[in-house]
Structures are given as structure tokens and as C-alpha cells.
Amino acid sequence: MVLGICPQHSKRFLRSLTKEKLLEAKHSGPRLCIDLSMTHHMSKKELSRLAGQIRRLYGSNKKVDRPFWICLTGFMTDSPLYEECLRMNDGFSSYLLDITEEDCFSLFPLETLVYLTPDSEHALQDVDLNKVYVLGGLVDESIQKKVTFQKAKEYSVKTARLPIQEYMVKLQNGKNYHSEILAINQVFDILSTYLETHNWPEALKKGVSSGKGYVLRNSVE
């Protein structure tokens, strides 16, 4: 709660403060890019899920102390996903973020990009304000891994995976199901919590639900 503000001004004040923080992130980082260039094969149901994830990610970003500047790339304004975002996400057209039809690989210098993909050999160590972190806008787990990793390799862009293997262990479960593939809003929650706390276990706890079949190491010792 912000002290010393009249109740009737507080909402407006907080809105302008949020706007200020978001615009600051645009210039000085951190920056997050959602690569939406792979959505043309998606079903209506998958598009709805992705539009919902974008809404949750944006909502979380507005609430954090240190927001990311968000860029939706490869995003056509005449696409079914755009229509779905307008239909499902209240106020989508006035979201404070960049929307561009350009691909992230042509928009940013390649050396600044880090494509987050579960197939990477490199665990993410830190969140660097000079880098642009890229998340693949896909919801089908079966293709998500291969596609994002291949795409990054094609452009010789650095890749990283969340350090789930380093800080978490597989939990025995009936289905023997273990997945490191998260929704984009869950990945965002991990990145933003890490930026705030510089504590990976705390950050991973925020985004990796027990349904993924992983728990923090210390919780099973």
C-alpha cells in the first residue's frame, strides 16, 4: 500500500506509477519477448489458452516492483490470436507493451537474445538487464520443446533453460509424469520473482506447480 495518498487519487496515482515503471523497463531493462510467430497451426482452444496466458502474464507484470518491458513479436493484428486476445482480455488494445509483426530475430541484435527453452544445455544463472529473454508462444507440450530450440539454433542465438534440474527433484507420482515445460505466465512469474529475490528456489516455487512432478530439493530431504 502506498501511504499518504487520498483514496480517490490512489488508483490514478498507482496507474501512472505503473506506467512510469513499465516505460523505464523499456529503456533500461529487463525485457521479455513473446515469440508469437508459431501460432498459425493452433486450434481455437489453444489460441484461447495462449490469450489467457498473455493476460495473466501482463496482469502479473503490472503488479511487480520491477516490471519487464514486454514485446509481442511475430504478431499480426489480423490474426486469429489477436482477435482472441481482444475478445478475452479486457482493455487489450491499450496494454502497455510493444506489438510487432517483425520477428524477434530481426528486431533485436542477436547477441542480446536469450531464448528460454527446456532443451537448452545451459541453466539460466541470472537475469541480465542488457539481455532480451525470449519465450516461445506455444501451448502444445509435444512440439514446444523441439520447435523453440530448433528456432534458436537456426539463428545461432544463445539458449537457456530454467534451473529446475539444479534446484528441484522429481517427485514420485502415480502417472510418473515430470515436465519442465511451463506456460509463459509461469515462466514470467519465475523470472520476475528471481529478479526481486535473487533466490532461485523461491522463484521456482512460484512458477513450478506440484502437478509438473517436481519439488524443491530441501522439501524432500
DSSP string, 89-121: STTGGG-SSEE-SS-HHHHS-GGGEEEE-TT-S
Specify the pLDDT at position 22.
Answer: 86
The DSSP-derived string for 54-79 is HHHHHHHHHHSSSPPEEEEES--TTS
- What letter would DSSP give residue 158? E
Average pLDDT over residues 166-176: 74
Separation CA 168–CA 221 (nearest Å): 11
Closest Cα partner for 1 from 14, 15, 18?
A: 14
CA 191 to chain centre: 8
% of residues, the chain, pLDDT over 70: 88
Q: Residue 75 — left, alpha, or beta (φ > 0 → left; ψ -120 to 50 → alpha)?
A: beta
Q: Report d(CA 114, CA 135) in Å as an integer.
A: 9
The pLDDT assigned to 1 comes to 44
pTM above 0.85, yes or no: yes
Please, which pLDDT band fits residue 133 given cuts at 50, 70 and 90?
A: very high
- d(CA 216, CA 1) in angstroms, rounded, equals 31
- Could you give the C-alpha distances from 127 to 20, 47, 116, 148, 188, in angstroms and in order? 21, 29, 12, 20, 12
Task: Give the residue-averaged pLDDT of 96-118.
Answer: 95
Residue 4 pLDDT > 60, yes or no?
no
Name 71's bridge partners. Answer: 33, 98
Supply the pLDDT for residue 221: 45
Q: What is the pLDDT of residue 19?
A: 86
Calculate the average pLDDT of the chain: 87
Q: Distance of alpha carbon 7 from its chain centroid, rounded?
A: 33
pLDDT at 137: 93
User: If you average pLDDT over residues 171-180, what whole number do you get?
Assistant: 67
